[in-house]
Structure 1
């Protein structure tokens, strides 16, 4: 009986830990970003800052891209280059009109991303967590979509 109980507890514990995954912290609104939103699917990761003029110009394009990709299991995520947190991150995101999810914790280490000295910079990451493309400078929704389609076709 004790072995069965120990085995059952071990299985339950493993399931509970397995369900945790590699969550990506919280977003600009303080909501948890579950691992399932990024893991095992393609996504676009954009680094921006309030003081970056080209970032401000491309935000509406990224909003349009995020809207276009809804339901296609490809997400658009942002990261604040200056690592602002909490209310400051929420305020900066609102000020720039960002409608896609902004990650409060920079996932650069998880995806082995180099620290860029120029902004904006956008990465396309595949469903295996591999960086497939680094796009420097201001992007358009159509340009990123075309690059996504090209990369997915060669996957």
Structure 2
């Protein structure tokens, strides 16, 4: 009987932990990011920093891209290269004028993103979590949109 109870507890714990597998943490406003926001859709993930001049020029383009992609199963997400958290992340995102979601937790391990020493860098990841493109340097909304269309076969 004890073994059966322990087996049930083990299965229950596994199921509970499985639900936490795709936890993306919080955004720059401290809001929890549900897995549905990133799973089963294409993702544009951009690494930026306040000290990065080209990042400052690129941010408005990414804000525009996010607006253009609404309703198309593609999300635009930022990640602070310096790993800022909490109020520092919120303040830096605001100072940069970022309107898209900034992930406080770096998803590099989850998506097996190669580490880039240059900024800005943008990754396009498909709905299965596979990196389809790594775009170095300052991007435009039109350029990223064209790359997504090319990769999706449209």
TM over 0.5: yes
Q: SS of the counterpart of 2:109?
A: coil
Give the CA deviation at 1:111.
1.1
Whole-angstrom distance in 1 between the partners of 2:138 and 2:94:
19
1:151 matched to 2:151? The reply is yes
Cα distance in 2 for residues equivalent to 1:9 and 1:111: 31
Secondary structure of the residue aligned to 1:109 is: helix
- Aligned to 1:144, the other structure's residue is in SS state helix
User: In the aligned structure 1, how far is the partner of 2:82 from the partner of 2:9?
Assistant: 44
Q: Pick closer, same or farther for the CA change 1:94–1:10 going to 2, 3 Å.
A: same
Instruction: Name which of structure 1's ranges 13-22 and 38-47 shifts more when overlaid on structure 2.
Output: 13-22
- TM-score after normalising by structure 2: 0.89
Q: How many residues are treated as equivalent by the alignment?
A: 154
When normalised by structure 1's length, the TM-score is 0.88
- Deviation (angstroms), 1:19: 4.1
What are structure 1's unaligned runs of at least 5 residues? 1-5
Deviation at 1:15, TM superposition (A): 6.1
Per mean C-alpha deviation after superposition, the further-off stretch among 61-70 and 17-26 is 17-26
- The answer as to 2:24 corresponding to 1:24 is yes
* Residue 121 of structure 2: aligned partner: 121
Q: Which residue of 2 aligns with 1:103?
A: 103
- Give runs of ≥4 in structure 1 deviating > 3 Å: 8-21
Q: In structure 2, how many angstroms separate the alpha carbons of the residues matched to 1:13 and 1:61?
A: 44
Whether 1:42 aligns to 2:42 is yes
Q: For residue 115 of structure 1, report the CA deviation from its aligned partner.
A: 1.3
Find the residue that maps to 2:122 and give its secondary structure. Answer: strand
> Whole-Å Cα distance in 2 between the matches of residues 18 and 118 of structure 1?
35
| RMSD over equivalenced CA pairs, Å | 2.2
5+ residue gaps in structure 2?
A: 1-5
> Who is 2:3 aligned against?
none
Alignment map for 1:39-78 (pairs within 5 Å): 39-78=39-78
